[in-house]
Amino acid sequence: MMKKIKEDRHGSDRAAARRGKMVDVVVVGAGISGLSAAFFLKEKGYRVMIVEKESRVGGNIRSERRQGFLIEYGPNSILETTPALGTLIDAAGLRERVIYAGETAKKRYILRDRRLQPLPTSLPAFIKTELFSGRAKRRLLREPFIKPYSGEDDESLAAFVVRRLGQEFLDYAINPFVAGVYAGAPERLSVRHGFPKLYQLEQKYGSLIRGTIGGMRERKRSGETAKDRARMLSFEEGLSQLTDTLGERLKESLQRQAELTHVDARRDGVWLKYKQKGREQAVYAGHLLFTVPAQAYNHLPLTPGSDFMQKLKEIYYPPVSMVFLGYDSIAPHVPRDGFGFLVPAREKRRILGTLWNSSIFRGRAPEKGMALTTFVGGSRQPEMAKQSSEELINLVKEELRDIMGLNSEPAYAFVKPWPRAIPQYVPGYGAVLEAMEAFEKKNPRLHLAGNFRNGISVADCIKQSWQLSENLHRVLSENSHGFN
């Protein structure tokens, strides 16, 4: 593959570019989206540069060991839902460092009436469960006979679930699930954009139950796995082992503590500048890929008046505080046989839920100890997340004492506030996506990626980066202007 810049009417800029650096793709941001996209492209033989504002890589992914406990600041695990994840792990040489969640992690609890109730995962368990009333169970059986939504409005997840499954299923299954995944509320999330597979099941099959059966065949053909069946994984030293390894493999391409100062997208390439350690550097690239959070676009050298920039400002990220508690030993009566528990809004508690980290993955706590991560705030109670670390630790200890019977004092406690945690795909989010598509159509050498588009999970971001790398590979191979 030839890697040269062809002369055209922008020859003067080309000459200037020769005095700087020339690459096929510049990636802005070294979170999981940027790192995986750059890695996939480099594996295909392209010259890549990553411009990262911070001194470390990984973005919201950060793992640290402290006093015998492994703490995850952000995401705690990855679901093995896409083949792109396995491709990335293998190419990075991390297959031997992967650890899978134990069998106990399949058991998840929901708090109802101050009791932890196992979430049923089979038909016999659903019939026997006390989590849902007999009336709610009978209501669920009507689902295949309910007509699909025919309105034009962007239906909320709450309205969708009540219509198809009933109010109680919303209150004690979907509401806590959404709080745990999105730190959001189902009344303020779009089913079409936040949960597209649910939306598509109804549109294609007319029923979630019928669609689940039909969807199994489609996933088998695509090589993807449903989230409820996907294996959960991490690494021996936490998720940072993935991002740190990618950063090390890409170190020759990585510009840390570098800030983009100028972007000029042309028909045949992108002329840009970045400042690093007080010096401004020039780069000419075939394509420019942005992988930063929505709010970061306010600080990028892009036209501020565009519809795209205005729409990005509308994306809501609720505040969430992560409270980690580590115990050297735990009383026998304290539950630990599962993934953790989620709290429905109807329970009127001060936390969203708690992960039992040491029950999910090995090596997260001392042998007889326990590691727990509790989340506070979200769009349900944003003011709760803004308390001091001391207040949050005391709040969580009180809640866990009442819910789990956890009376002992932690050996270690840590709080990580996320003032803007997870993007909310609200009803009407289609307008945001349309603005992104219009921006890319107008600027075919500029590309947008991140968890505010096509899914919020780590696996979603990796899948999106793989798809982008495939698209760029095709364009770079075929385009007669710019890099070939």
| In a shared domain, residues 144 and 266 | no
Task: Read off the CATH number of the domain in which 137 is found.
Answer: 1.10.3110.10
pLDDT value of residue 6:
37
Write down the H helix ranges in 92-190.
Answer: 123-128, 134-140, 157-165, 167-169, 175-181
pLDDT class for 1, splitting at 50, 70, 90?
very low
| In a shared domain, residues 327 and 310 | no
pLDDT value of residue 388:
98
How far is it, in rounded angstroms, from Cα 75 to Cα 60?
7
Q: Which two tokens stand for residue 141?
A: 């059986």
pLDDT value of residue 2:
30
| In a shared domain, residues 368 and 451 | no
Examine residue 369 and state whether it is found in any structural domain, yes or no: yes
Mean pLDDT for all residues in the chain: 92
Q: What does the H/E/C string look like for 49-111? A: EEECCCCCCECCCCEEEECCEEEECCCCCEECCCHHHHHHHHHCCCHHHEEECCHHHHCEEEE
pLDDT value of residue 10:
45
Domain boundary residue, one of 166, 198, 229: 229
Q: Is the pLDDT of residue 96 over 80?
A: yes
Q: What is the pTM of this model?
A: 0.91
For the chain, give the percent of residues with pLDDT over 90.
84
Q: Is the pLDDT of residue 9 over 50?
A: no
Task: Read off the CATH number of the domain in which 409 is found.
Answer: 3.90.660.20
Least reliable range by pLDDT among 292-296, 309-313, 389-393, 426-430: 309-313
Q: Is the pLDDT of residue 482 over 50?
A: no
What does the pLDDT average to over 116-137? 95
pLDDT value of residue 77:
98
| In a shared domain, residues 275 and 414 | no
Question: Tokens 């020339």 sit at which residue?
Answer: 22
| In a shared domain, residues 219 and 147 | yes
Question: Tokens 């528990």 sit at which residue?
Answer: 341
Let me know: does 465 contact 450? Beta carbons within 8 Å. Answer: no
| Type and span of the H or E element at 12 | helix 11-18
| In a shared domain, residues 296 and 383 | no
Give the chain's count of helices (H) and strands (E).
Answer: 17, 19
For the chain, give the percent of residues with pLDDT over 70.
92
Give the distance between the most distant pair of CA atoms in the chain.
Answer: 76
Domain that holds residue 387: 63-104+316-418
Q: Is the pLDDT of residue 480 over 50?
A: no
Q: Is the pLDDT of residue 145 over 60?
A: yes
pLDDT class for 75, splitting at 50, 70, 90?
very high
pLDDT value of residue 150:
83
| In a shared domain, residues 352 and 322 | yes
Let me know: does 138 contact 315? Beta carbons within 8 Å. Answer: no
Residue 224: alpha-carbon gap to chain centroid: 17
Domain boundary residue, one of 418, 437, 465: 418
Let me know: does 135 contact 165? Beta carbons within 8 Å. Answer: no
Least reliable range by pLDDT among 185-194, 222-231, 468-477: 222-231
pLDDT value of residue 19:
56
Least reliable range by pLDDT among 12-21, 181-190, 333-342: 12-21
| In a shared domain, residues 250 and 330 | no
pLDDT value of residue 304:
64
Q: Is the pLDDT of residue 93 over 80?
A: yes
Least reliable range by pLDDT among 24-33, 208-217, 256-265, 438-447: 208-217
How far is it, in rounded angstroms, from Cα 303 to Cα 282?
20
Nearest-10 Cα torsion for 29, 30, 36, 42: 90
| In a shared domain, residues 398 and 473 | no
Domain boundary residue, one of 181, 205, 229: 229
How far is it, in rounded angstroms, from Cα 154 to Cα 130?
33
The total number of structural domains that make up the chain: 3
Q: Of 318, 315, 319, nearest to 448 (Cα)?
A: 315
pLDDT in tens, 344-370: 999 999 999 999 999 999 999 999 999
